[in-house]
Amino acid sequence: MPNAGITGWGKCLPPCTLSNADIATFLETSDEWITSRTGIRERRVAHASLGDMAHVAAMRALACAGLEGKDIELIVFGTTTHDDQCPNMASGLQQRIGADGCAAMDVNTACTSFLYGLSTATALIRSGVVRTALVVGGELISPYLDWNDRNVAVLFGDGAAAVVLQATEADEGLLLEKLGCYGESREILRIHGIGSAYVHQGRLLGRTEWQFEGQEIFKKAVNGMGLACEDVLRRAGKSADDVDLVIPHQANLRIIESVAKRAGVPMDRVHVNVQRYGNMSAATVPTALCEALEEGRVKPGGLLLMPGFGGGLTFCAHLVRWGGRTTPLGTTDVDLPAPTRTALEIVQRYRTARGAALT
């Protein structure tokens, strides 16, 4: 049975940066208040669509692997914030990268969507259905945020990242995973205003209200990711000392620190970028992976532990053995168009549109 090695990786982060000081111009908050509670100092706000960001990330991942779109047999797109509910995001990406006729599916498990997608694509490679797959994690959250709700407005950002998986006989790729969900707690993290439950119900679709019980989410996140990490390490016969790098979901610095402590891994072996990007939901883990590679933190043959949690409340942990290559085989000129507005101007447009919808 073949393994599914990661041979390509690429990210796309929109250039418009929204700082804590920017948010303080329209909310009663401060850089100190946000940073002390979350570890977040800034986040990206997209001026382009989710499909645009995913296209750039995918082309960079393909170039990194030395492949073209026609080589891809499966696309798994992890997201909660689709450009369209139907057709799916994966089919649009198939068209844009020239992967004509390949299988294309979306996965929505909120912030764990990329990791669940990694499991899905790996399983299909192991079973022999496909030999080459593209897994994407991307979110365009900023249009859905209630920018007047301080509890959520400070937390999230936009972005996308992707990896290429290829069948291999080498001992690399996803070794073990633990997938789970606290379905009984799904109401503590819910976005009202998206989905068929709100169609023809007197509510404007997209005018969201966030149900976000931070303390309960914190407890469930730490417990779920902690249990999942313990599970995969035990089944693999590994200890915390064997883990070269932890690449966790980047939701909140305090959550990351608590999960690392529970797993017994010191913070100098944990990759953290939440301070720069905030919580990009499905995009956090693949973006952090790309950054860790760029910074030389992922070594050939290294053992990576990737825990995550998201709405649902889903949780997981993935144990990955890295292959022999940590540098791209090629690059691409594909990029986002230049923005015409600042991040703050984009957000102010969302706030104005939301205010108009409420009147």
Largest CA distance in the chain: 61
Tell me how far CA of residue 279 lies from CA of 65, 132, 169, 288, 319, in angstroms: 27, 29, 35, 11, 22
Q: Cβ of 353: how many Cβ atoms within 10 Å?
A: 13
Choosing from 181, 252, 279, 290, the catalytic residue is 279
Choosing from 12, 16, 111, 290, the catalytic residue is 111
Please give the torsion angle defined by the CA atoms of residues 257, 258, 263 and 269, in that order, rounded to the nearest 10 degrees: 0
Catalytic (active site) residue 151: no
Question: What are the backbone dihedrals phi and psi of residue 248, each rounded to the nearest 5 degrees, phi first?
Answer: -95, 165
Choosing from 47, 55, 82, 249, the catalytic residue is 249
Catalytic (active site) residue 111: yes
Catalytic (active site) residue 279: yes
Instruction: Render 256-310 in DSSP notation, one character per residue.
Output: HHHHHHHHT--GGGB---HHHH-B-GGGHHHHHHHHHHHTT-SPTT-EEEEEEEE
- DSSP 8-state class, residue 157: -
Question: What are the backbone dihedrals phi and psi of residue 82, each rounded to the nearest 5 degrees, phi first?
Answer: -60, 145
The continuous run of DSSP H or E covering 50 comes out as: helix 50-65
Active-site positions read 111, 249, 279
